[in-house]
Amino acid sequence: MRKYAAALAAAALILTTATPQIVRAAPAITNGSAQLNYKILPTVKAQVIPNYLSGFGPTGGLGSGSTPTPGPSAVLNGGTVDFGNVVVGYQYLYKYAAQVKVQTNDSAGFVVYGEGATDLNGSNPVPLPATYPIFSTLFWLPSSATNSPFSPATSFNKTNGNPIGLNGVNGIDYSGVGGVPQAMSAVWSSPIAGNLVQGFDYELRLSGTIPPSQFNVYIVYTVIGN
């Protein structure tokens, strides 16, 4: 009995002298978040390079007694598209006249328009009348090694917008005509985004009614995302 009691007392002693363990509750955790939004806007950038490849310049006029050569203002990768001296009644092809480079992230692609800021403006000497229609005189077609002065081509049109600067030297204002060029002035389109390039040749078809003069016109290219 005493052993049992002693054992119980000893057990009781151990229990009463042990350091009590305090169990603490875990601290509360609070979560929060911040929402981030952004939108990538579609962008379109374009560059036009005249005389963009070696070998640029006019050919044609067969039978006119004159061999066409580029005028002095035509230089590789710049200058102007200068047919030089040409003869009424003949047709000419200007190879590698202009290259249009387009860079866009618009997944719907883009449309490129090209049109004359004015009709053909005569000078030195000034003819009467002072302008000649660009339609059915100056044409465009995609560049190709097989192009000739008689290849099928599409006529440029005179804009229905307002030329900016003298004869459109600073472009065309389309704000008064719905903000875009005429649909018939489209020269190239793409259904996708990317960095894309298209070269163009020009054709000059000179009717017998065009007067002797030096003619010039600004061809304005406008790129619009879809």
The whole-angstrom separation of Cα 45 and Cα 223 is 8
Q: What is the pLDDT of residue 38?
A: 85
| pTM, rounded to two decimals | 0.83
Q: What is the pLDDT of residue 23?
A: 64
Q: What is the pLDDT of residue 3?
A: 30
Taking the chain (226 residues) in runs of 10, the rounded mean pLDDT of each run is 31 43 71 88 94 98 93 96 96 98 95 98 93 97 97 98 96 96 97 96 94 96 94
> CA–CA distance from 186 to each of 178, 181, 222 (Å)?
16, 8, 9
Q: What is the pLDDT of residue 182?
A: 96
Q: What is the pLDDT of residue 14?
A: 38
Residue 57 buriedness (CB in 10 A; 0-12 / 13-18 / 19+): buried
